[in-house]
Copies of this chain bind each other. A is one copy, B any other.
Amino acid sequence: MSDVKTAIMDAAERRMQQGGFGGFSFREIATDVGIKSSSVHYHFPTKEDLAAAVIRRWAEYTSELIDKELEKDPDPVRVWTKAFRGTAFSEAHMCPCTVLGAASQDLPEQVAKEVKGFFKMCQDKLVAEGLSPSKAAEVLSTITGALVLANALGDTAEYDRATRKFAASKRGRSG
């Protein structure tokens, strides 16, 4: 993948984290990267293509990160909680899949499909790691909602407050 193509996706990802699908334009992305909007169209013919590619990349990166972290810590709940915590405390604060997922009904087909794929991947992995479907849904909902809450309240500490239980599970100082 060319440097420019990666830079376009990086810029789109950053803006999608803040404003979702409607939160970026080809012109803004072009300005961010330092090229013209028509050049963005060269790499990604439509806005739908660009957004779908960004979400897919995010899903792949997340999946790989989880696998890597599971080698160091065998507790899936703690690993996933920590991974989403990294997003909450990052510069952009949000997971683009969460932003898009909240407005899923207004998304182009391909983008909605990729977003759905992301959450499906999360859930399947949690189940594969030993959790019941119900527990997997609960954990994923809590860390996803914690992201939304922390973002809306403008307070990253809210993430830790909401996930305190998970962060301490089966290894915390007190139990």
Cβ contact within 8 Å between B148 and A102: yes
Interface residues on A, range: 35 or more
Interface of A (DSSP majority class): helix
Does A175 count as interface, using CB distance less than 8 angstroms?
Answer: no
Complex: A92 Cα to B105 Cα, angstroms = 9
Q: Given A18-B103, A102-B98, are A164 and B151 neighbors across the interface (CB < 8 Å)?
A: no
Does A162 count as interface, using CB distance less than 8 angstroms?
Answer: yes
Min CB distance A94 to B, Å, is 7
Q: Which chain A residues (132-155) contact chain B, with CB distance < 8 Å? A: 133-134, 137-138, 140-149, 151-154
Q: Which residues of A are at the interface with B, using a C-beta cutoff of 8 A? A: 17-23, 92-94, 97-106, 112, 115-116, 118-120, 133-134, 137-138, 140-149, 151-154, 158, 161-165
